Structure 1
Amino acid sequence: MKADILAFGVHPDDLELGCGGTLIAAIAEGKKVAVIDLTRGELGTRGSAEIRAKEATAAAEVLGVHARENLGMADGFFEHNEANLCKIIVAIRKYQPQIVICSAPEDRHPDHGRSSKLISDAAFLSGLRKVVTTLDGQPQESWRPAQVFHYIQDRYLKPDFVYDISPYFEQKMKAVLCYGTQFNTTDTSEPATYISNPDFMDVIRARALMFGKRIGVNFAEGYITQKMIGITSFDNIINNVT
């Protein structure tokens, strides 16, 4: 399946938190969206990899994405190496997206920043025809996405642009809450974590409100890009009301 957008998360739930509203909005516009988790989240304090897989499937249904895969890299210990680069290149060439979305360049969880560099490099290498990959025994054609955007995660990073998700914020939160072992839980049978406290949901809402306020809308998600973005019309620029 060819996708317009291919979004990567390190752990199941990263995508929902970082760019879930954007993906829902893109799908509402008729775009094809595929998502890929690099790891199974097996080092997570709460739940298990098997439970996270079921939660990810439920969240994918809420998001409405057209495909979800897991590359099975080692949670916490995946490396920036040829094997992992090739796994991502295969995925990019499989879906041939114009836009790749991935983790923040640096963040509280070291996996996030490490994956950001890994995916950005793979997106470039995917465009080199002498990098040979196969899928189901068949050689793949080279493919380089037009843009790589990095969603902002736990740490505040100044966005290069923000995406209005106001009509889709509650649907995004519904997708996040599919991860019942991770968020908004009062279950004390497992250790409490930074994200398990119900107050963490207020943090997600506050971040979206803050980004939204900067462009005069209710909710938005922030992105960083290393490549300059050009425009052909002023018609779709949201006016800042401040």
Structure 2
Amino acid sequence: MNKLDILVIAAHPDDAELGCSGTIAAHIAKGFKVGIVDLTHGEMGTRGTPEIRLQEAADAAKILGLSARENLGFKDIYFKDDEAHQLELIKVIRKYQPEIVLANAITDRHPDHGKGASLASNACFMSGLRKIETELDGVAQQAWRPKFVYHYIQNNYIQPDFIVDISAHWDTKVASIMAFKSQFYDPASQEPASFISSPEFLPFIESRSRELGHRIMVKYGEGFTVERFIGVDNLFDLR
């Protein structure tokens, strides 16, 4: 009942929306089941509170039509790619048994993004080791290893290994991002300014998506990097 086709792992609430929500929406529209697990509440962010971020994440989940969303409550900034955190993430991977995992950028301006990428990658491999024993609600879990781990591109530009056409789902991406209204530009806000609350930040997100879309001759795109080569048996599967 819990099985997902795609599980998105994000260090902070709004990482998935900013990095790959167009891809999420595109696959949900095709009938795939997609979920998000946020590692932290983003409590060290300049704006908002953990409670606000949780509500915003729930609002974004409804906009996207997610099959599941949960938050592991790791400490923002201070979580590590270590045994304790790996085991908690392994439980989630085994719970949802995704075929594909989308994870944070392998390196980025925010150090949690690279840590999140490493943690997700290691947990996905370790989840397939049957001698690592985990339980969920008192029931032993079976080993499960996703077939593919892809990393979405975030603030820093990284040369993508492939680009997804999200043109038909751009409005859904924008709506899911704007669900996190505490985080972005609001001239009426009394909270301190942050890197992502500047009036230039959301136009940057659109410019990035337009640039990536232009690379594959569509209006909007989202880029991903891979951990291993992608193979095809039909050249006409490529566009």
TM-score under structure 1 length normalisation: 0.97
Q: Separation in 1 of the partners of 2:171 and 2:206?
A: 10
1:55-204 equivalences under 5 Å are: 55-204=56-205
How many residue pairs match? The answer is: 238
Q: Separation in 2 of the partners of 1:236 and 1:186?
A: 46
SS at match of 1:235: helix
Equivalent residues of 1:10, 1:38 under 8 A apart: yes
Deviation string for 1:100-149 (max 9, x for gaps)?
00000100000000110111000000000000000110000000000000
Q: Separation in 2 of the partners of 1:69 and 1:81?
A: 20
Equivalent residues of 1:212, 1:219 under 8 A apart: yes
Shift in Å, 1:38: 0.1
More displaced 10-residue stretch of structure 1: 189-198 or 218-227: 189-198
Q: Separation in 2 of the partners of 1:178 and 1:184?
A: 12
Amino acid of the residue matched to residue 132 of structure 2? V
TM-score under structure 2 length normalisation: 0.98
Amino acid of the residue matched to residue 40 of structure 2? T
Shift in Å, 1:184: 2.8
SS at match of 2:55: helix
Shift in Å, 1:5: 0.3
Question: Which residue does the alignment assign to 1:216?
Answer: 217
SS at match of 2:16: helix
Shift in Å, 1:80: 1.4
Amino acid of the residue matched to residue 108 of structure 2? D
Equivalent residues of 1:47, 1:182 under 8 A apart: yes
Show structure 1 runs of 5+ residues with no match.
Answer: none
Q: Does 1:44 align with 2:45?
A: yes
Q: Separation in 2 of the partners of 1:17 and 1:141?
A: 32
SS at match of 2:39: strand
Amino acid of the residue matched to residue 58 of structure 1? D
Deviation string for 1:63-113 (max 9, x for gaps)?
111100000000000011111001110010000011000000100000000
Q: Separation in 2 of the partners of 1:236 and 1:124?
A: 27
Shift in Å, 1:187: 3.0
SS at match of 2:168: helix
SS at match of 1:143: coil
Deviation string for 1:175-210 (max 9, x for gaps)?
000111101321341111111123211000000000
Q: CA RMSD in A?
A: 0.8
Deviation string for 1:198-223 (max 9, x for gaps)?
32110000000000000000000000
Q: Separation in 1 of the partners of 2:172 and 2:24?
A: 11
Amino acid of the residue matched to residue 57 of structure 2? A
Equivalent residues of 1:41, 1:75 under 8 A apart: yes
Amino acid of the residue matched to residue 183 of structure 1? F
Amino acid of the residue matched to residue 73 of structure 1? F
